[in-house]
Chain A
Amino acid sequence: ILNVEQSPQSLHVQEGDSTNFTCSFPSSNFYALHWYRWETAKSPEALFVMTLNGDEKKKGRISATLNTKEGYSYLYIKGSQPEDSATYLCAPLGGTSYGKLTFGQGTILTVHP
């Protein structure tokens, strides 16, 4: 089981603010990193799957970067909107995980109008 830490645990921002949060994971034997968004009363949905050191992915106002050498990924949201309120989960995949994701506890984002 991989040790995955997400910070902060929760975050409150005002509409229009930009924000970011962190996912830390073991850098050894890295294989891939998944980010999911989980809105209240819905199911988690994949945002990004990242594999290469230095990789940067973008979807609308949300982007993510990956540093596999030091074992972290940042998720950025530019100009937060109330509909961005959700729990953001990261899940690294190690080389010996045989396809099993280990999820962090998540960062709960609340965007106030």
Chain B
Amino acid sequence: DADVTQTPRNRITKTGKRIMLECSQTKGHDRMYWYRQDPGLGLRLIYYSFDVKDINKGEISDGYSVSRQAQAKFSLSLESAIPNQTALYFCATSDNARQGPYNEQFFGPGTRLTVL
């Protein structure tokens, strides 16, 4: 079984709809991240959480919200989806052990979201 899972894997929705993307991990990591990927732009950070009570905005958080329901679960919501939120969304995790920010991130399989 994959260590980091995302649901759904693909989603087509309409402008104005609320949608939630879910991420679960079995790696026991405290840190979790949501990124979006657009062609030619690399991965951009939407939100990140260093533990259940610590949630922070990334560089492109407008139009998104998150919920850290447990150490293993981190959900991303689009309250009112718009077409320019069409993208590939990745969840990632990392350990916060003594190496701290040196620790590599582990990515989920991605969710391809299309907003019509």
Contact = CB atoms under 8 A, between A and B. Distances in A.
Interface string B78-109: 00000000000010001010001111111111
Interface string B26-52: 000001000100001111110010100
A99 B42 contact: no
B1 interface: no
A73 B103 CA distance: 18
Given A44-B90, A51-B102, A103 B107 contact: no
Nearest to B58: A100
A103 B31 CA distance: 17
A98 to B, nearest CB: 8
Contact of B42 (A51, A93, A97, A105): A105
10 contacts: A9-B40, A32-B101, A43-B107, A43-B110, A44-B43, A44-B107, A99-B48, A99-B94, A103-B43, A105-B40
